[in-house]
């Protein structure tokens, strides 16, 4: 027991802290672009002309059908053949953005469709351009409705960030794996890593609940199951 | 042209992994159903018994951890600690199944709650016992309501099964990466593997959609 505590304090805490920071870096770099991609795909799907809409639909179907790990392998191992070599970090972030964007777009699309189409017509009749009406009338409402779904996806992203380890980017899981193989204390190390992930996921869900409450417009609260 | 040859040459080996992948997915779905359904029922109908807290922790734990960490924890940690020496396939299937059971329990919980609770009272007043009413009145409806959400577990498990690569299960991605290290041609092989996954996803979803139509009762809510 004493030995375990000394092991945790001396050998484990430093690398795990670095690993946690590396994981956070991955997540923080992916989330904003994933949301942006989701918005672009969703508006392209709903409002785009035929080819744009088809392109967005196909992209979402392809990315959702491919395991994220294979997407990461394609980005990391295949792109160099086309002259684009990415570091493990950028390859993972690109993969996370592509995957997260595709899933987000589904929620945002649903949210856009749930805004009454009369509002768009009313905004147009007030002299707004189509783009203006979408950006300042439809999107603020759709974003609020899509938030619960997107926050789920971001929590998935926290967990999927562990896949960057397979592209040899040393984040939390990778750092733990290295120590565990050196010390043979697999159960202890991975239990602690699991706890760190649980803490990250719990904090993320608290932040999103707070954000949802903060952004709620009185009288327009989404019904939560 | 050369790419086509490489694909043609390696594809039988990669496609052989299809059985392993499907084995993982089907085992995990079955484990998830067998564990998740009772958990969902207990959460709704025995909600304030002594089971409720452990179940809530079980679900929170399995939903909050990345599957990669769970795989490492079980494969290198828990199973060796218990003295059980399982081949990677069974560890992978067990981990994916337990993880899925946490998600499925929530799907079934939601579906059971969406059945009007007056039906339970009506069944009880007709003299049915609680388990009897759950089995004959509530679940036949709840399972139909749960089916669309439950079918979403298939693509999730299908894509997650490739994570078993990390503990060396010989599924499609593992085979593909072995072929890549042999032929040094990542582009055609990984793309081909992605295509196989997409096709399997599509076929599975078609089957599940037709199952939804098959079990749908006309005039009854749901999709």
Q: Is B26 part of any domain?
A: yes
Q: Are B161 and B24 in contact (CB under 8 A)?
A: yes
Q: Is B194 part of any domain?
A: yes
Q: Is the pLDDT of residue B223 over 60?
A: no
Confidence band for B116, pLDDT divided at 50, 70 and 90: confident
Q: What is each CA distance from A153 to A159, B138, B180, in whole angstroms?
A: 10, 31, 31
Report the pLDDT averaged over residues A23-46.
Answer: 94
Which of B2, B103, B159 to probe by mutation at the A interface, max A CB count within 10 Å?
A: B159
| pLDDT tens sequence across A99-135 | 999 999 999 998 998 888 889 899 999 999 998 999 9
What pLDDT is attached to residue B222?
A: 45
Tell whether B191 is within 8 A of chain A (Cβ). yes
Q: Is the pLDDT of residue B128 over 70?
A: yes
Q: Is A220 part of any domain?
A: no
Task: Please give the Cα distance from B106 to B117 (Å, whole number).
Answer: 18
Q: Are B190 and B173 in contact (CB under 8 A)?
A: no
User: Of B66, B155, B197, which has the smallest distance from its Cβ to A160's Cβ?
Assistant: B66
Q: Is A224 part of any domain?
A: no
Q: Is the pLDDT of residue B123 over 70?
A: yes
Cβ-Cβ contacts under 8 Å for B52 (sequence gap 6 or more)? B42, B43, B46
Q: Which residue of B has its CA nearest to A196?
A: B65
Q: Are A30 and A93 in contact (CB under 8 A)?
A: yes
Name the least confident of A215-219, B6-10, B108-112, B139-143.
A215-219
| Number of domains into which chain A is organized | 1
- Per the rule left: phi > 0, alpha: psi between -120 and 50, beta: everything else, A27 is alpha
Residue labelled with tokens 């603020």:
A140
Q: Is B221 part of any domain?
A: no
What pLDDT is attached to residue A224?
A: 45
Tell whether B158 is within 8 A of chain A (Cβ). yes
What pLDDT is attached to residue A11?
A: 79
Q: Is the pLDDT of residue A138 over 80?
A: yes
Q: Is B223 part of any domain?
A: no
Q: Is A208 part of any domain?
A: yes
Confidence band for A93, pLDDT divided at 50, 70 and 90: very high
What pLDDT is attached to residue A37?
A: 96
| pLDDT tens sequence across B59-87 | 999 989 999 999 999 999 888 888 888 89
Residue labelled with tokens 């938030």:
A147
Domain that holds residue B177: 2-215
A68 neighbourhood in chain B, CB within 8 Å: 159
Q: Which residue in B87, B84, B73, B96 sits closest to B27, CA to CA?
A: B96
Domain that holds residue A50: 2-215
Residues 77-96 of A with CB under 8 A from B: 77-78, 81
Q: Is A223 part of any domain?
A: no
Q: What is each CA distance from B146 to A104, B99, B208, in whole angstroms?
A: 23, 18, 12
| pLDDT tens sequence across A68-77 | 999 999 999 9
What pLDDT is attached to residue A221?
A: 58
Confidence band for A67, pLDDT divided at 50, 70 and 90: very high
Report the pLDDT averaged over residues B110-137.
Answer: 91
CATH number at residue B194: 1.10.3720.10
Tell whether A67 is within 8 A of chain B (Cβ). yes
Q: Is B128 part of any domain?
A: yes
Cβ-Cβ contacts under 8 Å for A149 (sequence gap 6 or more)? A104, A106, A107, A110, A111
Tokens encoding A40: 């672009």
Q: What is each CA distance from A32 to A17, A42, A131, A161, A212, in whole angstroms?
A: 24, 15, 22, 15, 17
Report the pLDDT averaged over residues B136-157.
Answer: 90
What pLDDT is attached to residue B39?
A: 94
| Number of domains into which chain B is organized | 1
CATH number at residue A143: 1.10.3720.10
| pLDDT tens sequence across B156-169 | 999 999 999 999 99
Average pLDDT score, chain B: 90
What pLDDT is attached to residue B49?
A: 77
B161 neighbourhood in chain A, CB within 8 Å: 67
| pLDDT tens sequence across B6-31 | 888 888 888 889 999 999 999 999 99
Q: Is B179 part of any domain?
A: yes
Size of interface A-B (CB pairs under 8 A): 115
Compute CA A183 distance to the chain's CA centroid, rounded to the nearest angstrom: 33
Confidence band for B112, pLDDT divided at 50, 70 and 90: very high
What pLDDT is attached to residue A225?
A: 40
Query: Does the model's ipTM exceed the 0.85 cut?
Result: no
Q: What is each CA distance from B173 to A17, A195, B8, in whole angstroms?
A: 31, 29, 17
Helix A88-114 × helix A13-47 angle, to 10°: 40
Tell whether A180 is within 8 A of chain B (Cβ). yes
Q: Are B92 and B73 in contact (CB under 8 A)?
A: no
Q: Is B104 part of any domain?
A: yes
| pLDDT tens sequence across B177-211 | 999 988 888 888 999 999 999 999 999 999 998 98
Average pLDDT score, chain A: 90
Report the pLDDT averaged over residues B41-69.
Answer: 89
What pLDDT is attached to residue B24?
A: 95
């Amino acid at each position: 027991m004493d030995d375990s505590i000394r092991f945790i304090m001396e050998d484990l805490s430093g690398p795990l802290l670095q690993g946690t920071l590396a994981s956070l870096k991955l997540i923080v770099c992916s989330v904003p672009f994933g949301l942006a991609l989701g918005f672009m795909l969703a508006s392209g799907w709903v409002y785009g002309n035929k080819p744009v809409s088809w392109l967005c639909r196909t992209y979402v179907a392809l990315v959702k059908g491919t395991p994220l790990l294979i997407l990461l392998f394609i980005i990391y191992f295949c792109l160099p053949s086309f002259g684009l070599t990415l570091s493990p970090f950028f390859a993972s972030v690109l993969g996370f953005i592509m995957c997260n964007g595709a899933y987000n777009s589904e929620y945002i699309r649903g949210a856009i469709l749930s805004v009454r189409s009369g509002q768009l017509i009313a905004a147009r009749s007030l002299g707004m351009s189509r783009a203006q009406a979408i950006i300042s009338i439809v999107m603020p409402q759709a974003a609020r409705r899509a938030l619960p779904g997107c926050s789920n996806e971001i929590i998935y992203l926290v967990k999927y960030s562990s896949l960057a380890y397979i592209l040899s980017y040393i984040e939390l899981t990778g750092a733990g794996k290295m120590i565990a193989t050196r010390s043979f204390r697999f159960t202890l190390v991975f239990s602690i890593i699991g706890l760190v992930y649980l803490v990250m996921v719990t904090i993320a869900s608290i932040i999103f609940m707070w954000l949802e409450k903060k952004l709620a417009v009185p009288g327009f609260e989404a019904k939560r199951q | 042209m050369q790419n086509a040859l490489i694909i043609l040459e390696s594809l039988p080996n990669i496609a052989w992994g299809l059985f392993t992948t499907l084995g993982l997915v089907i085992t995990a779905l079955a484990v998830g159903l067998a564990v998740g359904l009772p958990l969902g029922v207990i959460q709704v109908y025995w909600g304030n018994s002594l089971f409720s807290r452990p179940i809530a922790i079980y679900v929170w734990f399995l939903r909050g951890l990345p599957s990669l960490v769970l795989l490492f924890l079980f494969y290198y940690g828990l199973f060796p600690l218990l003295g059980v020496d399982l081949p990677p396939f069974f560890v992978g299937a067990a981990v994916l199944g337990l993880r899925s059971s946490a998600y499925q329990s929530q799907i079934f919980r939601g579906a059971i709650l969406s059945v009007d609770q007056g039906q339970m009272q009506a069944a009880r007043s007709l003299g049915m016992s609680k388990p009897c009413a759950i089995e004959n009145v509530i679940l036949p409806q709840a399972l139909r309501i749960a089916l669309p959400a439950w079918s979403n577990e298939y693509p999730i498990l299908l894509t997650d099964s490739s994570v078993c690569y990390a503990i060396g299960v010989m599924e499609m991605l593992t085979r593909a990466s072995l072929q890549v290290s042999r032929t040094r041609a990542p582009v055609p092989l990984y793309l081909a593997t992605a295509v196989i996954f997409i096709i399997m996803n599509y076929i599975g979803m078609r089957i599940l959609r037709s199952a939804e139509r098959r079990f749908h009762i006309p005039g009854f809510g749901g999709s």
